[in-house]
Amino acid sequence: MQAELNQTTLKRPELLAPAGNWECAKAAVENGADAIYFGLEKFNARMRAENFTEADLPELMEFLRDRGVKGYVTLNTLVFPQELREAERYLRSIITAGVDAVIVQDIGICRLIRHLSPDFPIHASTQMTITSEVGVEFAEELGCNLVVLARECSLPEINKIQNRMQYRGATLPLEVFVHGALCVAYSGQCLTSEALGGRSANRGECAQACRMPYELIVDGESVDLGDKRYLLSPQDLAGLSVLPELVQAGVSCLKIEGRLKAPEYVANVTRVYREALNRLMRELDEQKEPEKPFLSPEDTSNSPVSNPSPEEIYNLEMAFSRGIYTGWFRGINNQELVHARFGKKRGVYLGDVKGIRNEEVTLKLAAPLKAGDGIVFDCGHPEMKEEGGRVYGVQRKGKEVIITFGKGNINWQRVHVGDKLWKTSDPELDKQIRQSYAGENPQFQRPIDIEVHGEVGKNLVTVTRDEVGYLVLVESEILLEEAHTKPLTTEKLQEQFGRLGNTPFRLGNLVNHLQGNVILPVSELNRIRREIVTKLAAERAKNRLWKLKQNVSLQDLFSFDSHNYKYHRLLDKKSPNLIVLVRNLKQLQAVLDSDVNTIYCEFEDIHKYREAVEMVKVKRKINSSDSPILEIFIAPPRITKPGENWILQQIQLHGADGYLIRNYDQLKFFGNDRCVGDFSLNVANALTADYFKNKFGLERVTASYDLNISQLKDLITSSPPDWYEVTIHQHMPMFHMEHCVFCAFLSDGTDFTNCGRPCEKHEVKLREFRFGSEHILQADVGCRNTVFNATAQTGAEYVQKLINLGLRSFRIEFVNETPEDVAQTIQKYQQLLRGEITGSQLWKELKLQNQLGVTRGTNREIMTKGSG
């Protein structure tokens, strides 16, 4: 039954390619992209790309419309309070330019777009960390028209999301990344660049710390992993082999990563996927015949692209490759996702060096090589200078080849037997690729379907449709006559209407509805063809006219008078409240021995929450009747995927006072309980805060860790201060990953089913090679890993300013601190909140890094200059 449903509803997904500049846009269009996505000068997650400008939009969209290609703008970063009005102006320009959609991370910006325009399409970015059907529903309620799922979603999970959405009558299209670089951390949940260098990934400034080498420290000792140093650097995603399953799952759009890549990369990868997708759709159409059952999600044996051809793999690896892999599509395999040998582009593997003699290298080739190709010798130390260059000659010697190089091009003292040889450049392929988008005339032609109607004594009428959905009708100026010889046949019509030359079109299907034997001069058929092209081009050139409200403002969206909070600070007489998050029972006991009233618990073992709640209840009985009520909130895992509600159900059984909400599933699941929104909801402006606070009834929301002190002040003064909680002491949670380092490097297992649970037996840290910092690694109940910054950071020096602004909820977090450290730290912060010591005194006494979430500057500047 499911197969029959898929047969009738099967659609070809849109192929979406990246464009960091004009040349990349042309490369994508000329190689078959159905749509491109690109950033403007601000608010996009690839600020290092060349990007387009607002002034480019009219010309760019005209070019795309002429070619039948859609254009999506990436506005996929968090937007700070003082930037909202600029973002509004930006959005008005984007909507007016007729852009086909905007890709958005910030929830407040989604609200703003829908406020400005009731019909302009919003695509929920992968930065929104949507991993379940509940997340899709959240996006739909927000006004989104499409959801880009987190890269960590497997094929079974994608199918579950689709099936549950269909069961509930939801129809929101889903988009997935199908090729390109894989972030090791969940997009929207990576704070590594922010923590180490003040360059926020949520602001488009990722410094790619995941591609750096790390040393594995287990129970205080360094583990010898051989040449494996790049412990957090995944191979690149290549979903070519799972295209059948993605099509069957009903995925609406396949996205290629790479707005920082060269046009050759864009052209190469787009063409490979275009051709594979077209081939797949033809075969799937044939499989609709009764004797050819449709592919099941588990069976790809009949698929034309289940096993990509050597040529396709070669092209993808030469485009850009750190090794290519199916990512999380086929589930979790921690042994294969990260090979850990290098974190940069390699290309095609050629083989291991067998011998070196007289400046000649002998090896058995694993891939084609010719004179002029570029190579690099890999001795297992990619962080060092590597030898390589252009090949001068390739001479066959039995099953092996001898490779020679230009005199003096290689330092042979640095090349060794056993080194791996990689092909990094193929000038011949590059030339071929560049030719695919060279010149002014269209090279990739998209099909148009033509129906021809007519009979003797009447006009010939053509009805033409393109893939985008445009339709034009063209009639002959001469009446059809009866043909005594050589009547108009389907073949004759195909020949004349197929002469589309230097146009963006090629003839697809032609259906001949002519009645009787009729004839029309060839000159008139040619005129009709030219008019079809002209009219279709004119239809495409029309600007999309989205509805745009003129007499609306940001203020209309708020459920409060923001000016009241900006110019009249709350004179709240309540004392500041210190909230403490602990990660084990010993830390909890240390907190209970202090006079803290609000405790958050985040444990790897969810069964320990029962004991934690009992410990709090016992303490309540001991407290005097006039003491503030002691409260315990449980912090569920940051990610919830299909099938993981059992974790939330188990947590709810323990009877906590409330919950620290990390994601959209938890918003819904704990909807009838007391809840506080955590930093992972990415609250960076009052529009977002207002949505969570008032739509979902959260008691408070935690301000985004991307805000520096100035931006945090803007947030608090633009909305009620009692909405917010600010974390003033923590080891920044940097990477939050589906990838399990414990499993990958301390076991032979692939996932939690066979890893032996080393996370329960060992204390593990990741030591940076550059600075020697030992970052703390912890697993959660879902086996996801978090890397916490080695150095705790404090915003103590800003606490009094925040109190003066009306803020009353301050959080401190612990990771692996001893109970003694916990007690001492709590005591110092209580003194700070009571005004008994200054922030500078606290900073000096605890010897902490003085930082409160900056967005600019280097690690050294942060450590020496405080807030930057």
CB 341 within 8 A of CB 411: no
Tokens matching residue 515: 């009645």
What pLDDT is attached to residue 558? Answer: 80
What pLDDT is attached to residue 853? Answer: 40
Please count the residues of the chain. 868
CB 831 within 8 A of CB 837: yes
How many CB atoms lie under 10 A from the CB of residue 604? Answer: 16
Residues 6+ positions from 125 with CB-CB distance below 8 Å: 45, 74, 76, 103, 104, 105, 148, 187, 188
Confidence of residue 105 (pLDDT cuts 50, 70, 90): very high
Query: With 50 as the cut, is the pLDDT of residue 856 above it?
Result: no
| 841 membership: H or E segment, kind and range | helix 839-846
Integer angstrom CA distances of residue 666 from 104, 158, 165, 433, 650: 22, 19, 18, 48, 13
CB 792 within 8 A of CB 851: no
Per residue, what are the HEC states of 88-128? HHHHHHHHHCCCCEEEECCHHHHHHHHHHCCCCCEEECHHH
Nearest to 868 by CA among 845, 850, 844: 850
Beta strands 253-256 and 324-325 are unpaired
Strand ranges in 583-645 using DSSP code E only, listed in sequence order: 598-601, 631-634
Q: Can you tell me the mean pLDDT for 566-575?
A: 57
pLDDT in tens, 197-231: 666 777 777 878 899 999 999 999 999 999 999 99
pLDDT in tens, 294-308: 444 444 444 444 578
Helical residues (DSSP H) of 348-452, grouped into ranges: 427-435
Q: Can you tell me the mean pLDDT for 322-336?
A: 96
Q: Can you tell me the mean pLDDT for 749-756?
A: 94
Q: How far apart are the first and last CA of the chain?
A: 61
Domain 2-182+238-293 shares a fold with domain 575-731+792-865: yes
Query: With 90 as the cut, is the pLDDT of residue 569 above it?
Result: no
Query: With 70 as the cut, is the pLDDT of residue 767 above it?
Result: yes
Q: How far is CA 258 from the centre of its chain?
A: 11
pLDDT in tens, 383-431: 889 999 999 999 998 889 999 998 889 999 999 999 999 999 999 999 9
pLDDT in tens, 112-151: 999 999 999 999 999 999 999 999 999 999 999 999 999 9
pLDDT in tens, 451-499: 999 999 999 999 999 988 899 999 999 999 999 899 999 999 999 999 9
Fold of 575-731+792-865: TIM Barrel (3.20.20)
CB 640 within 8 A of CB 647: yes
Residue 326 backbone phi and psi in degrees, to 5: -80, 10
CB 491 within 8 A of CB 432: no
Better-scored residue on pLDDT, 500 or 196:
500
Q: Which CATH superfamily is domain 2-182+238-293 in?
A: Aldolase class I (3.20.20.70)
CATH code, 347-435: 2.40.30
Taking the C-alpha atoms of 482, 486, 488 and 490 in order, what is their torsion angle to the nearest 10 degrees? 150
CB 47 within 8 A of CB 203: yes
pLDDT in tens, 857-866: 222 233 222 2
Strand ranges in 398-444 using DSSP code E only, listed in sequence order: 400-405, 420-425
Integer angstrom CA distances of residue 258 from 5, 18, 178, 183, 726: 35, 6, 11, 12, 35
pLDDT in tens, 810-853: 999 999 999 999 999 999 999 999 999 999 899 888 876 555 54
In the numeric block, the tokens 């009708």 are attached to: 473
Residue 121 backbone phi and psi in degrees, to 5: -70, 135
What is the crossing angle of helices 57-66 and 522-541, to 10°?
A: 150
Q: Please state, in angstroms and rounded to a whole number, the distance separating the CA atoms of residues 578 and 575.
A: 10
Would you kindly state where each structural domain of the chain is located, as residue ranges?
2-182+238-293, 183-233+733-791, 347-435, 446-541, 575-731+792-865
